[in-house]
Amino acid sequence: MIISPSPETLDKLIRHQIHNLFLLDDIENYTISKSLAKALSKTELCFRKSSNKYYSRNGQAFFSIYHSGQYCIFLYFLSRQIFLDDPRNSVTADKVYYLNKSLNGVDLFYEIEMPEIFHLDHPVGSVMGRASYGNNFTFAQLCTVGNNHGVFPTIGENVKMLSGAKILGNSTIGDNVIVSANTYIKDTNIPSNSLVFGSSPNLIIKPRSNS
């Protein structure tokens, strides 16, 4: 993967930003640097599957540390990797998570297992809760995935949430579903290959091609 301007700058930038906000001790600095390579590997896999022209260059995955969407995805993978490497480092993972939230205005908590391949587009104001997410999940700004009475949704593959969409509670979203802008789904199952809009329980569901 091409990293612009460099992996060394990325390492310094992350630790500098976190230190300015929350302070870092020597152990935390080491923990972040130690988890960096694995997080970059996961970021590369995710970016290679993106159709966004800004995520590739000369046939390779491309990561600009000054592209907010790319940096947002990377910071999620880094915070989660720190936690997976050693749950005792949860405070360090918290700091990376809060850096992501502060810079990008998105809530992607490291204990939530996002899929290997997910995409976001101007995700300011979005909150991704403890759902089950299928690969190639995409969300935009002001989207919410959350619980109702402690039950979270199950989301299939190739699901796209447009601006302001919400999926809550005991909902199962099939594969290849587009959740239209400002749609509100609560405790409702949506079949695969659908376009859905409106609000539960009065949703309108239309079939769409799975191509």
Cα gap 178→181, rounded to integer Å: 9
R_g of the chain, CA atoms, integer Å:
18
Helix (H), strand (E), coil (C) string for 134-150: CCCEEECCCCEEECECC
Instruction: Determine the pLDDT at residue 59.
Output: 92
In angstroms, rounded to a whole number, what is the distance separating the alpha carbons of residues 205 and 193? Answer: 10
Q: Which of the four pLDDT bands, split at 50, 70 and 90, describes residue 209?
A: confident
Average pLDDT, the chain: 96
Structure token pair of residue 48: 């290679």
Domain ranges of the chain: 2-106, 118-207
**Which tens digits make up the pLDDT trace of 140-174?**
999 999 999 999 999 999 999 999 999 999 999 99
Residue 205 has pLDDT above 90, yes or no: yes
Percent of the chain with pLDDT over 90: 97
Q: Give the architecture (CATH level 2) of 118-207.
A: 3 Solenoid (2.160)
| Chain segment 81-131, per-residue pLDDT in tens | 999 999 999 999 999 999 999 999 999 999 999 999 999 999 999 999 999
Looking at residue 210, its pLDDT comes to 56
Q: Where are the beta strands (DSSP E) in the chain?
A: 2-4, 56-57, 60-64, 107-108, 118-120, 127-128, 132-133, 137-139, 144-146, 154-155, 160-161, 166-168, 172-173, 178-179, 184-186, 194-197, 204-207
Host H or E run for residue 102: helix 90-104
